[in-house]
Structure 1
Amino acid sequence: MSAHAVPADAYTTGLLSKDLPTELERLQLLEKTYDPGTVQALGRLPMRADWRCLEVGAGAGSIAYWLADRVPDGSVLAVDIDPRFIDADRAPQLEVRGSDITTDDFPAGSFDLIHARAVFMHLPRRREMIERAMQWLAPGGWLVLEDVHFLPAADSPYPAWQEVHGAYLTALAQQGIDLSWARRLPAELAAAGCEAVDVSVTPGGLGVDEVQDQLLGIRLIQSGPRLVEAGLVTAEQMAAAQRLVESGPAPDLSTFVYSAWGRKPAGPAQ
């Protein structure tokens, strides 16, 4: 087991910086919201106790821990550009490492499973990164990618949410995040040579359930000052959006998490 730090880069100073006081709570609420869909997708794979797993962008660690419980004779390498919230002592087969997968590399054929949630949408060369991940997979190994597809803020029935959610999406796009990449995941996996490609989708948004409203409330607290400072929204608009979240509104779906998976062919390397 080991835990290595990596220097902060420009991304870690943005809306999702680990230095923000609410970021751990946001990550934990995200886990509560999306872990069931992730576990369901991973549960469809023919996982063995000796699999070697790579968990990319491990966040607060919940899926890395889940995987470690299922590969007692294997290994889980949990990487994140800032792994401060992951417990490296959780399991003997778990290793935690600070890593930027856009610059770091892994030996060819060294993993039976690679999983990443809400990671590739942040990367500048997504197709190239899928191709690199395929090289890291052993023949017959599985690549599971999950990302968020954001629906247009202008389609919300709530004016207060149109304004603030729209400002948030603008800030994410300015940070380099592709808001519609997730929809392309199955086709991208197939283009990279994956077999048995499949997909499931988990809806999210305002009023969907209590946990998601808590997540959105934390997001407003966390992003609000920066959005106001950037001139994308006013403090009054932020307050109106917060009241809307707290009111328990009728559901307004604004995101779909695409969970896509495929298997590297068991034949010769491509």
Structure 2
Amino acid sequence: MSTDTATADGYATGLLSKDLPTEIDRLRLLEKVYDPGTTAILDRLGVEPSWHCLEIGAGAGSIAYWLADRVPDGRVLALDIDPRYVEAEYAPQLTVSASDIADEDFPDGSFHLIHARAVFMHLPDRERILRRAVRWLAPGGRIVLEDVHFLPAADSPYPAWQQINGAWLAALAAQNIDLSWARRLPAALAAAGLDEVGVSVTPGGLGLDAVQDELLRIRMVQSGQSLVDAGLATGEQVKAARALVESHPAPDVSTYVYSAWARKPAT
């Protein structure tokens, strides 16, 4: 089994498995938090009606649908290792594929736009896959990559969150997720030969707003017992963290989503 395949299997069966009953709720909450920033970037880039778009890691489908609405004369290919939540019938220009981006390849110049959110951080061979994605872009095409940068759990002002968030980060690292890759995104795009590189950053964490608190509450429900079973946390620590989330504490930023974009030179 290749390293990339092992990572895909870990994602499919680990803390973020779509077999978990709350995963669809988590994905939809992520959409509520981060879609406004994503679509604002895509709007600024100017999606044309005839564009061919690739959505990598389609999740619950919101960005694939958004793109399909804007390319009536083009197409959107939505890839996910488990696309069960993405409705292929949403639009005739939308195609849904169950596939691992590490195993995919397309002819050079196939797409005018490539987007991925919370995907490349899962890929051990991300630089190689990024170079391949650059080949798939048409001259003048755009790529938008978004990933999560996690701040050290020990820096939280809340001991209950230090403990449980530290356990969560340890579990993610055990699934070969790079917790700091996102910060390197802009430089990686430039190193891949792209220009017009830009970046924006969206904070996440406790007490920022009701949607983010609900996202963290769902995360505790979804992963709490797994953290206990893995010996990374105790039941009491999980209980204390859930109580903290429900208390609506003063804001504590624990993540930044880096959204980076760039253009393939026209010549």
Give the TM-score range, shorter chain. Answer: over 0.9
Correspondence 1:205 to 2:191: no
Structure 2: how far apart are the matches of 1:251 and 1:115? 30
Secondary structure of 1:9 counterpart: helix
Structure 2: how far apart are the matches of 1:197 and 1:251? 30
Structure 1: how far apart are the matches of 2:52 and 2:213? 36
Secondary structure of 1:76 counterpart: strand
Q: In structure 1, give the amino acid aligned to 2:74.
A: G
Tell me if structure 1 keeps the 8 A contact 2:10–2:175. no
Secondary structure of 1:266 counterpart: coil
- Give CA-to-partner distance per residue, 1:77-124, whole Å, 9 cap, x none: 001000000011111111111010101211211000000000000001
What is the aligned partner in structure 2 of residue 5 from structure 1? none
Structure 1: how far apart are the matches of 2:46 and 2:142? 9
Correspondence 1:247 to 2:258: no
Structure 2: how far apart are the matches of 1:121 and 1:106? 21
Structure 1: how far apart are the matches of 2:236 and 2:151? 24
Unaligned runs of 5+ in 2: 1-7
CA drift of 1:168 comes to 0.1
Secondary structure of 1:102 counterpart: helix
Structure 2: how far apart are the matches of 1:106 and 1:17? 27
Secondary structure of 2:65 counterpart: helix
Q: In structure 1, give the amino acid aligned to 2:46.
A: P
What is the aligned partner in structure 1 of residue 142 from structure 2? 142
Unaligned runs of 5+ in 1: 1-7
Where do 1:27-66 residues align within 5 Å? 27-66=27-66
Structure 2: how far apart are the matches of 1:170 and 1:208? 23
Q: In structure 1, give the amino acid aligned to 2:101.
A: I
Moved over 2 A (4+): 8-11
What is the aligned partner in structure 1 of residue 3 from structure 2? none
TM-score (normalizing by structure 1): 0.95
Tell me if structure 1 keeps the 8 A contact 2:148–2:179. yes
Tell me if structure 1 keeps the 8 A contact 2:54–2:76. yes
What is the aligned partner in structure 1 of residue 87 from structure 2? 87
Structure 2: how far apart are the matches of 1:149 and 1:38? 16
Structure 2: how far apart are the matches of 1:109 and 1:130? 14
CA drift of 1:177 comes to 0.4
Where do 1:130-169 residues align within 5 Å? 130-169=130-169
What is the aligned partner in structure 2 of residue 4 from structure 1? none
Structure 2: how far apart are the matches of 1:214 and 1:108? 42
The two structures, once aligned, show a CA RMSD in angstroms of 0.8
CA drift of 1:185 comes to 0.3
Tell me if structure 1 keeps the 8 A contact 2:203–2:253. yes
CA drift of 1:210 comes to 0.2
Tell me if structure 1 keeps the 8 A contact 2:153–2:162. yes
Structure 2: how far apart are the matches of 1:9 and 1:188? 26
Q: In structure 2, give the amino acid aligned to 1:95.
A: T
What is the aligned partner in structure 1 of residue 5 from structure 2? none
CA drift of 1:9 comes to 2.7
Q: In structure 1, give the amino acid aligned to 2:213.
A: D
- Give CA-to-partner distance per residue, 1:171-193, whole Å, 9 cap, x none: 00010000000000000000001
What is the aligned partner in structure 1 of residue 127 from structure 2? 127
Secondary structure of 1:241 counterpart: helix
What is the aligned partner in structure 1 of residue 101 from structure 2? 101
- Give CA-to-partner distance per residue, 1:189-219, whole Å, 9 cap, x none: 0000111000011111000000000000000
TM-score (normalizing by structure 2): 0.96
Q: In structure 1, give the amino acid aligned to 2:76.
A: V
Structure 1: how far apart are the matches of 2:89 and 2:103? 26
Q: In structure 2, give the amino acid aligned to 1:190.
A: A
Tell me if structure 1 keeps the 8 A contact 2:206–2:213. yes
Higher normalized helix content (fraction of residues): 2
CA drift of 1:46 comes to 2.5
Secondary structure of 1:186 counterpart: helix
